[in-house]
Amino acid sequence: MVEAVQGAGVVVTGAGGGIGAALARRFAAEGARVVVNDLDAGRARAVADEIGGIAVPGDASAIVGPAREALGGTVDVYCANAGVASGGSEAAGEAVWAQAWDVNVMAHVRAAHALLPDWLERGGGRFVSTVSAAGLLTMIGAAPYSVTKHGAYAFAEWLSLTYRHRGIKVHAICPQGVRTDMLDATGSAGDLVLKPTAIEPEDVADALFKGIEEDRFLILPHPEVAGYYQVRAAEPDRWLGNMNHLQQKWEAAG
C-alpha cells in the first residue's frame, strides 16, 4: 500500500474505461475513496460499482464541485485523465481544434483553478495529468492531438514548478501506445507507431504508483521515451529526420 493515497479522496476523469478505469481500480485497491467520472454515465457507474467508488458522470471541466461534495468536502488527488485523440493536420476543422484544446488542456486548467485555493490553504494536494508521449515528442497524422498534449504537459510542468514549495505534488504520465479504445481510434498511424510496443492500462497505473512512491514528476510507462526525448532536445534535426521517415512510411502504406 502507498501511504500517500490511503484514505485519500480521489477523482479520476475519463474513468469509464482504459487508463482511467485502471487508475480508479488501483487507487481503490490502495485504500482511497474514488470518484469515477466519465461522460458516459453507464460506464462510470459500472466502474464505480465494481470498485466501491462513487459515480459522478458529466463533463470533466465542471466536475470538481460535485466530486468534492461526493467525497465529503475534500479532494486530495485529482487525475485529469479524460482526453480526445483528435487526428488530422493543420486543415482539421475549427471544431476539432477547439474540442482538443478544451478537453486536453482547458479541462486541466479549470480543474486546477477550482482545486488550488483549498490545496494551497491546506498545504497539500496531488494533480495527476495523463498527457502522452506525444506531449514530449509528437504523433504523425495528429496535429490537434500533438499540439494540445504539448500544452497539457506544459501546464503540468508549470503547476509543479510554481507550487511544489507549497506542498502541491504534480505527476505527468506520458505513455506511448496503450491498449484502449483510443489507440484503436488512431487508425493506420497508430498501427505503425504505437501498437507494436503497446502496453496494458494496468501497466500505466503501476508506473504512476511507482512514481508517487519515488516522488517523481515525469512518469514514463515506456522507459525508451526518455531516450527519444533526449535526442529530440540534443539533436532536433536528427530527431525530425527520423520522424519524417516515419511520416513517409505511413504515407506510402496509405
Determine whether 169 is an active site residue.
Answer: no
The string of DSSP codes covering 94-129 is HHHHHHHHIIIIIHHHHHHHHHHHHHHHHT-EEEEE
Determine whether 153 is an active site residue.
Answer: no
Q: Model confidence at 3, in pLDDT bands (50, 70, 90)? A: confident
More confident residue, 3 or 145: 145
CATH code of 68's domain: 3.40.50.720
Q: Is the pLDDT of residue 184 over 90?
A: no
Closest among 213, 214, 212, 181 to 198, alpha carbons compared: 181
Domain that includes residue 149, residue range: 3-253
Average pLDDT value over all residues in the chain: 95
State pLDDT tens for residues 108-153: 999 999 999 999 999 999 999 999 999 999 999 999 999 999 999 9
According to the model, what pLDDT value does residue 94 have? 97
% of the chain surpassing 70 pLDDT: 100
In the set 145, 153, 163, 169, the catalytic residue is 145
Closest among 107, 88, 96, 106 to 38, alpha carbons compared: 107
State pLDDT tens for residues 55-108: 999 999 899 999 999 999 999 999 999 999 999 999 999 999 999 999 999 999
Q: Is the pLDDT of residue 183 over 80?
A: no
Three-class SS of 138-190: CCCCEHHHHHHHHHHHHHHHHHHHHHHHHCEEEEEECCCCECCHHHHCCHHHH
Number of structural domains the chain divides into: 1
DSSP 227: H
Q: What is the mean pLDDT of residues 229-250?
A: 96
